Amino acid sequence: MTTVLVSGGAGYIGSHTVVQLLEAGLDVIIVDNLCNAKYSVLERIRRITGRAPVFYQTDVRDRPALREIFNRHAVDAVMHFSGLKAVGESVSHPLRYYDHNVAGSIALLAEMEHAGIKRLVFSSSATVYGDPSSVPVKENAPLSARNPYGQSKLTVELMLRDIVAADPTWKVAVLRYFNPVGAHSSGLIGEDPEGVPNNLMPYVAQVAGGRLERLSVFGKDYPTRDGTGVRDYIHVVDLARGHLQALAALPGVDGMLIANLGTGRGYTVLEMVQAFERASGREISLRIAPRRPGDVAQCYADAGYAGQVLGWQARLDIDAMCADTWRWQQWANDNLYPAPDSDPAGVPLQATLPFDSGCPTASSPAWGKPC
């Protein structure tokens, strides 16, 4: 049976991908420092799938811990989601982003190489394209990331290109995805930001759910149909399925493939708000705020290549994205979530070595406790 190590597997996209992997019958090992995730998601993954992943609360920058994990388990492939992901925060704290996203990737890749594991699916981002000169964006579009988050993803892509050029036995899939939204249809897992959300959909959901007073729309003077930014919003379940199909395609990959994962259609911020109002039956109070540093006017994908090489295309529409997000928000409200975290039943912590992860939310996190 194939065993996949998933870095950042307790996070938003990682947890949905872990569900897909477990449901496909694969064995999963999660490595996550819980900076942007909680223990309790592991129990909810078990409730959805009937299976429990192996879990290590470990930072991917901790090379001795990674080496111990690779020594304990016969890992066939790695999916790499770990990292920080807020564009605005990356502008304010660039070193933090290069440390987590680039240094973390270097540590993981070095330990993979040491263990002889050379199959990787890497979580990249459409931010590597910067402000594209034309849309939809193809994989061969110029790369000009405009913020440290995008630069960190692009740096890792360039590293992977060099690694594959030096050693063609590596097989790598780089997935550049656009704007993940939505939640699992069970309502048990979804986007779970720490503090005030940085992304549109969880913010809208928390306004609809009464946790936040109003939505701030950053910029209404873009050259778009209603003045607000246009993005390619993709359901996280479609995105997770894309990772599973990329994993299946790795044996036939010649070195490295790069594919966009998106719907190929862009929606404005206000169009997404209106769709969420329809799904929730709630009015979303909003205000117009200045543009955020690092944001671009519009970006949406040409995902045709993913269809060719992975046999993948998005299936879930904007109504499903909003309905599933609202179901997740209602579950969170009904269960007073997030509550104080605890060890999940049936998913034992496989502790390795202590490591100060330097989480943005805690200056010195204690080993064995969430940041």
CA-to-CA dists, residue 257 to 115, 170, 201, 249, 306, angstroms: 22, 11, 30, 10, 10
Buried/exposed 79-108: b ≥16 CB within 10 Å, e otherwise: bbbbbbbbbebbbebeebbbebbbebbebb
Q: Give the 3-state secondary structure of residue 288.
A: strand
Q: Give the 3-state secondary structure of residue 321.
A: helix
- Write phi, then psi, for 155 (nearest 5 degrees): -60, -45
Q: Please count the CA atoms within 13 angstroms of the CA of 236 that sit on its side-chain side.
A: 27
CA-CA distance, 181 to 285, in Å (whole number)?
20
Handedness of CA 42, 45, 50, 51 (dihedral sign): negative
CB neighbour list of residue 320: distance below 8 Å, 6 or more residues apart = 182, 235
177 annotated active-site:
no
**Bridge partners, 183 (sequence order):** 190
Q: Give the 3-state secondary structure of residue 46.
A: helix
Active-site hit among 12, 97, 98, 149? 149
Look-up of token digits 């109002």: 277
Alpha helices in the chain (DSSP H): 12-23, 40-49, 63-72, 87-92, 94-97, 104-115, 148-166, 200-208, 236-249, 269-280, 304-310, 318-334
> From the DSSP assignment, how many helices (H) and strands (E) are in the chain?
12, 14
List, by residue number, the catalytic residues.
149
